[in-house]
Amino acid sequence: MKRLALITLCLVGCARGDRPDAVWGARGVLDGQFVRPRAAVIDRHDRLWVVDFTARVQAFDLDGTHLGVTFRTPDFRNGRPSGLGLTRDGELIVCDSHYHCLRVYGDDGTERRVIGGAAGSAPGQLGYVSDVVQDADGFFYLSEFGENDRITKLDADGNLVAVFGGAGTGPGQFQRLRALALGPDGNLYCADACNHRVQVLTRTGEFVREFGGEGTEPGRLRYPYDLGFGPGGELYVVEYGNQRVQKFTANGESRGVWGAPGGRPGQLNSPWALAVDRKGRVHVIDTENHRVQRVRL
C-alpha cells in the first residue's frame, strides 16, 4: 500500500470546518495520483472509491492510503465515466456515461455484469448516465444528462420500470441532471445543475419540493454537481460554480458553507463530487486541483 501526497493538517485555533483535516493526491497517473477526479463513493467497508478523467478507478482508505486496487473501464475512447454508486449488496457501480451503461465490479476490480448499453431516448434506452442509487427494494434509479435529462427506474435485474423527468425548468424537469441521493425520508434528491437547484421527488417520480436557485449567498446554488447525506440526516451539496460545499437540512435550510476558489488547502477548483463517511466527514473531490480534501462542516 502506498500513500502519496498525504497531508494531515492539525490546526489549532481555527473554527471547526474552516480547514480540511486531510488533503491527498496530486496530478499524475501513478497509484494515489489523479487527473481531474470526477466522482467518489464510500462503501460499507469504509473504502473511498474515486474515478478520474483517465477512466481509472482507485480504492483508498479514509485517510488517503491507496489500497492496491486500480482499474480502468474497458473502453474510454468515446468518453470517461462520470459517476460511481453501490448496489444494495455493496458492489461498486461505475456509471460509464458515454457508453450508456452501468458496470458492476467486485472488490478486486473485476467486472461482474453490465446493465444497459443501448443508447437513445426511448424508454429502456439510456443517454449519458451520470449517477445511480439502488434502494432497499432493489430498484435502481439512474440520472441521465444530455438530451434525456431524466431518471430511469430499473428493477434489480435491469428491466425497465419507469421513466420520469425530461428537459426543462419546471417542477420535475431537469437541465443537466448530475447526481442523485436517497434521503432518510425515502425520497430522491436530485442535483439539477443548470437549473441551480436541488429537486426532491418520490421514487415514483412525483414532485415534492425544490430549493436553491442561482446565487452566491447561503441557501443559493450555482451548478450543484453532487450531493450526499450525512449520518444525522444533513444534506451536503458540492457546487461546481461557487467552488464550495454547502450543508442543508433535508428541507433545504442552509446550515453552513465551506470552501472558496483557489489551490490552497480549504480552497477548491471546479469540484465535481463528494462522499460522506459514517463519521460525518465530507470527502470533497477537488477536480482541477487533482486531489481529495476531507472536512467536517
User: Which residues fall within 8 angstroms of residue 110, CB to CB, at 6 or more apart?
Assistant: none
Residue 255 included in any domain = yes
Distance CA 282, CA 105 (A): 24
Residue 170 included in any domain = yes
CA atoms within 13 A on the CB side of 215: 7
Q: What confidence tens digit (pLDDT) does each residue in 7-62 have?
A: 333 332 233 347 999 999 999 999 999 999 999 999 999 999 999 999 999 999 99
Question: How many structural domains compose the chain?
Answer: 1
Exposed, middle or buried, 54 (CB in 10 Å: 0-12/13-18/19+)? middle
| Phi, psi dihedral angles at 186 (to 5 degrees) | 85, 0
Query: According to the model, what pLDDT value does residue 10 have?
Result: 35
Residue 162 included in any domain = yes
Residue 177 included in any domain = yes
Distance CA 96, CA 184 (A): 27
Q: What confidence tens digit (pLDDT) does each residue in 143-200 have?
A: 999 989 999 999 999 999 999 999 999 999 999 999 999 999 999 999 999 999 999 9
Distance CA 102, CA 86 (A): 11
Query: According to the model, what pLDDT value does residue 221 have?
Result: 99
Of 1, 19, 3, the residue nearest 295 (C-alpha): 19
Residue 226 included in any domain = yes
Query: According to the model, what pLDDT value does residue 159 have?
Result: 97
Q: Which domain holds residue 253?
A: 7-295
Residue 103 included in any domain = yes
Query: According to the model, what pLDDT value does residue 208 have?
Result: 99
Query: According to the model, what pLDDT value does residue 52 have?
Result: 98
Q: Is residue 258 within 8 Å of residue 245, measured between CB atoms?
A: yes
Q: Can you read off the three cell numbers belonging to residue 158?
A: 435491469
CATH number, residue 246: 2.120.10.30
Residue 1 included in any domain = no
Query: According to the model, what pLDDT value does residue 152 have?
Result: 98
Say which DSSP state 47 is in.
P
114 falls in which pLDDT band (50, 70, 90)? very high
Average pLDDT over residues 65-81: 95
Residue 278 included in any domain = yes
Query: According to the model, what pLDDT value does residue 86 have?
Result: 98
Query: According to the model, what pLDDT value does residue 222 have?
Result: 99
Q: What confidence tens digit (pLDDT) does each residue in 212-249 have?
A: 999 999 999 999 999 999 999 999 999 999 999 999 99
| Phi, psi dihedral angles at 294 (to 5 degrees) | -110, 130
